[in-house]
Amino acid sequence: MAYIAGAYEHPTRDAGDKTLAQLQIESALGALADAGLSKSDVDGFFCGPDAPGTGPLSIADYMNLDLRHVDTTNTSGSSYVLHVAHAAQAIAAGKCNVALITLAGRPRADGRRKGAIVRNDSPAQPDYQWEQPFGMQILNMYGMTAMRHRALYGTTSEQLAWIRVAASEHAKHNELAMIRKPVTVEEVVQSPLVADPLRRLDCCITSDGGGAVIVTRPEIAKSLAMGRFRPCVRVKGSGERPQHQQGGYFEITESGAVVSGRTAFAEARVRPADIKYVSLYDSFTITVLIQLEDLGFCAKGQGGRFVMDGNLISGIGKLPFNTDGGGLCNNHPGARGGMTKIIEAVRQVRGEAHPAVQVPNCDLALVNAIGGQLGVRHASGTLILERE
Amino acid sequence: MTGRIPSDPQPTAETQPFWDAAREGRFLVKRCRACTKAHWYPRTHCPFCASADTEWTEASGGGTIYSYSVMRRAEPVYVMAYVTLDEGPTMMTNLVDCDPDALAVGARVRIVYKPSTGGFAMPMFSPVPEVRS
Ligand SMILES: [Zn+2]
């Protein structure tokens, strides 16, 4: 089993003149410094399509990394969660000792504000002609997912709003959060409809920045942690699951988290009730609700009831989530939310989260991300992290 | 009110028969001769049993709303939807000629063709008025 020895969230939310390559190396060096390692220790490099150039090549060249293992698995926003699992596998197989995983994005500086994310769909995709002409967008795919969940289970806008409220109650403690002002359920349900039944405040922010994590061998992680008088963060279980339209017979209210979660829990030999904190990729409020159900924190259809009355707020509820404010309020660099979810989970397991939101005795945390789009094609990645 | 005009689908050799038939007002669904199951979207190899023995069959054009979402800020406003066809599979489409505030998951719809920017006949759906007995 491998360990996460370093984690770093880039402090910027608007990159200005900083290039993607600069954001990549600043994030990488931040994570290495957090681990107590240097660039020359890195022998494995994992990145997503946010890294400019052919796969890992341009950024490896820019940073002048001396590598013997690379992985550019791309499942959009969940890529980085899968990278942690793949890094652990590569380390176990002896393919590398110190794996660097990076993310950087600058959609704001590039003028691509929320709702204007450039998509890379090509007519060579077999699905293209059956979807793109009809105006398929990220927004309406999640909108349809929320609409069907409402029709099947009676989930209300007020229930979804509680997810935003919880995120905002956490973000108010985070000096770097893009939106720090707490909101009420009433404010969320009175915000304008954008894609029925989702409203403006059901949607995440878009920000510039990045992040990086370091995954390494047990003996290296333990000696580094000992030198810094802090606990180790062990990758205790992982799972991944691409999910799609299955030939036209599908249920959009059920995500790949059913399988990725089951796989991770089985590997970690723990149950949902053992988890003290969850980081869930909150592209929209509905994404959080569906992950909670599919990971087994409540029964299918009960997510609306589960999130009500502050149940996700640290210090108040049973299952604190996204204590940094998440993608709804804090940070969503490059519209890829997996990385920041890992980083906040590492803080929680180490006991290094903001004191106002630190979960007491947080010995077991779960990270889940849905990359791509609920409602059509996505990949879910799950990690279970343990304090040691 | 004029609706949103869909972009062109960019057919391939694998799908040209669908778009040719649509021009004539015929709605084709691919069905597998080996396992008899209909699938969406149409492809050469059956997504269930992988047989290449698939055929175009004319579908009824009836279905029910699986889900939908109204794009409130788009100009013009349009309705994204999944419709479950009476033949079994669910397809992505738009709901048109309808009041966006009067739609419901499970409601009956019927196929209607709307032209794309380049003149393709795009399969869309509109609500069927309820028949009172
Ligand atoms: Zn078949």
Q: Which helix (H) or strand (E) holds A96?
A: none
Phi-psi region of A322 (alpha: psi -120 to 50; beta: other; left: phi over 0): left
Average pLDDT over residues A24-45: 98
| DSSP SS3 for A61 | helix
Identify which of A131, A249, A376 has the shortest CB distance to residue B89: A249
The pLDDT tens digits for B114-128 are 999 999 999 999 999
Scan residues 86-125 of B and list those with Cβ closer than 8 Å to A: 88-94, 100, 104-106, 116, 120, 122, 124
Query: Whose structure tokens read 């709804």?
Result: A328
Q: Of A213, A261, A249, A233, which is closest to residue A380 (Cα–Cα)?
A: A261
Q: Which residues of A touch B (CB under 8 A)?
A: 115, 123, 126-137, 139-141, 143-148, 151-152, 192-198, 245-250, 252, 375-376
| Domain presence at residue B1 | no
Q: What pLDDT is attached to residue B133?
A: 54
- CB-CB under 8 Å, B11 with A134: no
Q: In this structure, are residues A284 and A77 in contact, taking their beta carbons and an 8 Å threshold?
A: no
State the distance from the centre of ligand 1 to the C-alpha of B53, rounded, in angstroms. 8
The pLDDT tens digits for A365-386 are 999 999 999 999 999 999 999 9
Distances (CA, A) of A375 to A7, A254, A314: 31, 9, 30
Identify which of A133, A152, A245 has the shortest CB distance to residue B122: A133
When mean pLDDT is compared across A120-129, A333-342, B17-26, B49-58, the lowest value belongs to A120-129
Q: What pLDDT is attached to residue A328?
A: 98
**What residue type is B121 in one-letter code?**
A
Q: Of A128, A124, A140, A245, which is closest to residue B7 (Cα–Cα)?
A: A128
Task: Please tell me which residue of chain B has the smallest CA distance to A123.
Answer: B10
Q: A136-207+237-387 in CATH: which number?
A: 3.40.47.10
- CB-CB under 8 Å, B72 with A196: yes
Structure tokens at A294: 């599919």
The pLDDT tens digits for A147-161 are 999 999 999 999 999
Structure tokens at B83: 């419709």
State the distance from the centre of ligand 1 to the C-alpha of A230, rounded, in angstroms. 56
SS percent in chain A: helix, strand, coil, step 5 = 40, 20, 40
pLDDT of A117 strictly over 80: no
Average pLDDT over residues A289-311: 98
Structure tokens at B9: 């689908």
Task: Please tell me which residue of chain A has the smallest CA distance to B74.
Answer: A194
- CB-CB under 8 Å, B71 with A139: yes
Mean pLDDT across chain A: 96
What total of structural domains would you count in chain B?
1
Examine domains A3-110+208-233 and A136-207+237-387 and report if their fold is the same: yes
List the domain range (segments joined by +) for residue B118. Answer: 16-127
Q: What pLDDT is attached to residue A48?
A: 96
State the distance from the centre of ligand 1 to the C-alpha of B31, rounded, in angstroms. 8
Identify which of A129, A135, A145 has the shortest CB distance to residue B11: A129
Q: What pLDDT is attached to residue A208?
A: 96
Average pLDDT over residues A92-118: 84
**What residue type is A210 in one-letter code?**
G
When mean pLDDT is compared across A120-124, A233-237, A316-320, A354-358, the lowest value belongs to A120-124
Query: Whose structure tokens read 């380390």?
Result: A91
The reply to whether CATH 3.40.50.300 applies to domain A3-110+208-233 is: no
List Cβ neighbours of A156 (8 Å cut-off, separation of 6 or more): A150, A304
**What residue type is A189 in one-letter code?**
V
Confidence of residue A113 (pLDDT cuts 50, 70, 90): low
State the distance from the centre of ligand 1 to the C-alpha of A76, rounded, in angstroms. 31
pLDDT of B80 strictly over 60: yes
Identify which of A136, A148, A195 has the shortest CB distance to residue B105: A148
How many cross-chain Cβ pairs, A to B, lie less than 8 Å apart? 122
Q: In this structure, are residues A115 and A60 in contact, taking their beta carbons and an 8 Å threshold?
A: no
Q: 3-state SS of A290-356?
A: HHHHHCCCCCCCCHHHHHHHHCCCCCCCCCCECCCCHHHHHCCECCCCHHHHHHHHHHHHHCCCCCC
Q: What pLDDT is attached to residue A121?
A: 79
Confidence of residue B2 (pLDDT cuts 50, 70, 90): low
Confidence of residue A115 (pLDDT cuts 50, 70, 90): very low
* Chain A closest-CA separation from residue B16 CA (Å): 11
| Domain presence at residue B10 | no
- CB-CB under 8 Å, B10 with A193: no
When mean pLDDT is compared across A110-124, A190-204, A283-297, A314-328, the lowest value belongs to A110-124
User: Which pTM value belongs to this model?
Assistant: 0.97
* Chain B closest-CA separation from residue A344 CA (Å): 33
State the distance from the centre of ligand 1 to the C-alpha of B25, rounded, in angstroms. 26
- CB-CB under 8 Å, A147 with B105: yes
Domain ranges of chain A: 3-110+208-233, 136-207+237-387
Distances (CA, A) of B99 to B86, B94, B102, B128: 23, 13, 5, 12
State the distance from the centre of ligand 1 to the C-alpha of B44, rounded, in angstroms. 10
List Cβ neighbours of A55 (8 Å cut-off, separation of 6 or more): A47, A70, A72
- CB-CB under 8 Å, A135 with B94: yes
Task: Please tell me which residue of chain A has the smallest CA distance to B120.
Answer: A133
Average pLDDT over residues A45-66: 96
The pLDDT tens digits for A187-229 are 999 999 999 999 999 999 999 999 999 999 999 999 999 988 8
Q: What pLDDT is attached to residue B3?
A: 86
Identify which of B39, B47, B116 has the shortest CB distance to residue A133: B116
Confidence of residue A339 (pLDDT cuts 50, 70, 90): very high
Structure tokens at B92: 């992505």
Structure tokens at A215: 């995954």
Kindly report the CATH number assigned to the domain that includes residue B104.
Answer: 2.40.50.840
Structure tokens at B14: 């694998």
Identify which of B8, B39, B82 has the shortest CB distance to residue A144: B82
| Domain presence at residue B94 | yes
Whether the CB of B7 is below 8 Å from some CB of chain A: the reply is yes
List Cβ neighbours of A89 (8 Å cut-off, separation of 6 or more): none
